[in-house]
Every structure is written in structure tokens, then in C-alpha cells.
Amino acid sequence: MEKEKGVDFEEEMVESREWVLSKYAANGFPTSDHLQMRTTRVIITEDSVPEGHAMVQLLYISVDPYMRTRMNGLQGGLYFPQYELNQAITAMAVGRLIKSKDPNYQAADIVVSPFFPLAEYCVTPTTYFRKIDPDAGISLPDYISAFGLPGFSAWIGIEVLGNPKPGENVFISAAAGGVGMYAGQLAKLKGCRVVGSTGSDDKVKLLKEEFGYDDAFNYKKEKDFDDALSKYFPNGIDVYLDNVGGEMLEAVLNHVNNKARIPVCGAISQYNQVWNESKGVRNLLNIVGKEVRMEGFLLASYLNRFGEFVMAMESHLKQGKIVSKHKIYYGIETFLESLESIFSGSNAGKVLIQVCKQ
């Protein structure tokens, strides 16, 4: 090809590993049958970067439950844009620019974008870049956690859609995960009584001791979610930030107060199964009797609130009113393992990959 003429290939390229999806996984957790790491060569000469693009070395990659919903091949009407087969899948990430063909950015700038290829290096449009000031007193991982998908999801769920009043009862499922950890702290800052469900006794302790939850329970130890909610919500539930769907949602609908709000952030209990093989929620009639508002949301629809969110979250972080917990995997080769850990519930806090030493 014309542009390779005269290039010393050995010196002016880097090897980059990236993750591709070669087959959709309708049922069960994806394996190496579905997701593979492949090595590509990224040319680093100036003219290999088109106008409006930049070459970036990725530093931190966000690993989030929603990624699973983009790998299922959409059985029968379920929504979520699917990853393209045999292309690098995408993720929110923080990266450092190596070269730039956009006058707004230059080499060595640190940027965050929700749509990086899940790779070590890439050449990508700068469209969704946001520049980071590394001296602002915020750690780089916080740009994909507190300021990233989980922090923004928690804020939309609690501040915008749930909007609990002081003293109201707030329930959060998957409470020790990325979204849950911020959501609980945001609800506490609003003066609510906050209870979380999570998957281990250690995480119950974490919720109460580090994230300020008023109470928490290990759902794996509860035989009957209805009984658990009777115990933890003697005065009913006013806001339920739903991260799990399924049986817990059904149990919640038997404990909602009048005019309860259920912002639906995700349904992690449903992601590894074909939708019409799941059990179903049988008591939606309670939505009428208790005048419940259930509302699903995607962050893309709330970008007009992003500035307000960043200001609020930055203030909370700097004053120590909100803390982050990160579970960091090292090396891009850990992607499958790190994603799986979200579904097995083996970690607490926001899961992310540190791609290289900074």
C-alpha cells in the first residue's frame, strides 16, 4: 500500500493486543469460544493517523456489566446495540495520546472516552474525547468510575429518576458493585435510609463500614427475598435502584410504598440467559395498586446533565463525602476474567483494567 512505502516497519509500529467477539453467546457466560485476544500492528508514523483522529495508548479500561448485553446476539426482540463480530469490542477508557491530528489535542494529553477499542493501542476519532487534567487531584481510575459509567448511572438513578426525599427508604441491589457503591453514598447524602443487597458477608460489612449504608444483607443467604425485605424495610421501599431484575425486582414490588420510583439501571441476573427462558416477574399489577413508576435509562440520553453531575461528584470526592473502591486487574489479557468476576460477584467496587504502567 502506498503509505507503507519506505516505512521501517520494525521501528515505526507497535504490537497491540485487542479483544474481539467472534461469536455471540445467547446463554451462559461467554468463554474463549466467544471472546479472543488478537495481536494487531499499529503503525505510528504521522501519516497513519487521519485528520480528526489520534493515536492513543490506553491506560485504564472500564469493565462493566452492560458489556455482556452487547454480546448476546439479541434473541427475539431484546434490545441493546450488539458488538460487531470480529471487530475490537469497545469500552470506556482513559488513554494517553501518542500522536494527534486534531488541533484540540496533542501528544501526551490524557483523555477519557466512552468508546475506545478494548486494546492496548489504537487510532481512533477524537469525537468523544474529554481531556483530563492529571493535576486536578482526582485519580485516573476515578475518571472511569466516579466520573464514569457507574458514577453517572448512580447519579441519574438517585438524583434524577429516584429523587428520594430525606428520610425515605432506598433499596439498592448489587450494592457493592460500581453503580451500587456510588448510589448508596449519594442517597445517604440526601438524608435517606439506605439498605443494600450484595453477594457475600464481606461485602455486607463493606457496605456498612465503608460506604455508609444503614444496613445490608447477603442475598445468597436469604431463602425468601420477601421475608428479607419485610425485615429490612418495615416501613416499605420508596426508591429501588434496580441493577439485577428478576426475582429481587418481584420481591421489591411486594414491598413498595405508594408512588415508589424504580429507576432500572440493569438486570444483571438476566444477562446470561435467553430472555424467554427466564422466570418472569409475576406481580406487575402492584405497579397499579401502588402507583409505581419504573423507568429504564441509558446514559446517552442524559448527556445534558453531565456537567452538573461532574461538578457535584467532584465536590463530593474532594470533600471525602464519597469514596471509590476499585478492583484493578493488570494487563489487557485479564479482560475475560475481570468481566466474569462481575457476574460471579467475587469482587467489590468498580472493576477495571490497568493496561500498562503509567
**Which residues form the interface with a copy of itself (CB under 8 A)?**
69, 76-80, 226, 245, 249-250, 253-255, 259, 264-267, 270, 275-276, 278-298, 301
d(CA 137, CA 135): 5
Question: Any idea how long the chain is?
Answer: 358
Instruction: Please report how close the Cβ of residue 341 comes to a copy of itself at its closest, in angstroms.
Output: 21
Regarding beta strands 293-296 and 13-21, do their DSSP bridges make them parallel or antiparallel, or are they unpaired?
A: unpaired
Residue 61 C-alpha cell reads as 479500561
Instruction: Please report how close the Cβ of residue 125 comes to a copy of itself at its closest, in angstroms.
Output: 24
Contacts of 229 (CB under 8 A, 6+ apart): 171, 237, 251, 252, 254, 255
Cβ proximity to a copy of itself: between 92 and 122 the closer is 92
CB neighbour class for 176 (10 Å; exposed up to 12, middle 13-18, buried from 19): buried
Cβ proximity to a copy of itself: between 287 and 328 the closer is 287
Instruction: Please report how close the Cβ of residue 103 comes to a copy of itself at its closest, in angstroms.
Output: 35
3-state secondary structure of 177: strand
Closest CA to 288 of 260, 265, 266, 267: 260
Cβ proximity to a copy of itself: between 286 and 347 the closer is 286
Residue 178 C-alpha cell reads as 460500581
What does the DSSP 8-state code read for residue 165?
P
In the block, cell 467477539 appears at 21
Cβ proximity to a copy of itself: between 274 and 356 the closer is 274
Instruction: Please report how close the Cβ of residue 10 comes to a copy of itself at its closest, in angstroms.
Output: 46
Query: Cα–Cα distances in Å, from 195 out to 132, 147, 173, 295?
Result: 34, 23, 9, 20
Instruction: Please report how close the Cβ of residue 251 comes to a copy of itself at its closest, in angstroms.
Output: 9
Cβ proximity to a copy of itself: between 137 and 296 the closer is 296
Instruction: Please report how close the Cβ of residue 298 comes to a copy of itself at its closest, in angstroms.
Output: 6
Cβ proximity to a copy of itself: between 69 and 169 the closer is 69
Cβ proximity to a copy of itself: between 71 and 207 the closer is 71
d(CA 206, CA 204): 5
Regarding beta strands 13-21 and 35-43, do their DSSP bridges make them parallel or antiparallel, or are they unpaired?
A: antiparallel
d(CA 174, CA 182): 11
Instruction: Please report how close the Cβ of residue 59 comes to a copy of itself at its closest, in angstroms.
Output: 29
d(CA 198, CA 220): 8
Q: 110 forms bridges with which residues in the sheet?
A: 96, 132
Instruction: Please report how close the Cβ of residue 241 comes to a copy of itself at its closest, in angstroms.
Output: 12
Cβ proximity to a copy of itself: between 81 and 103 the closer is 81
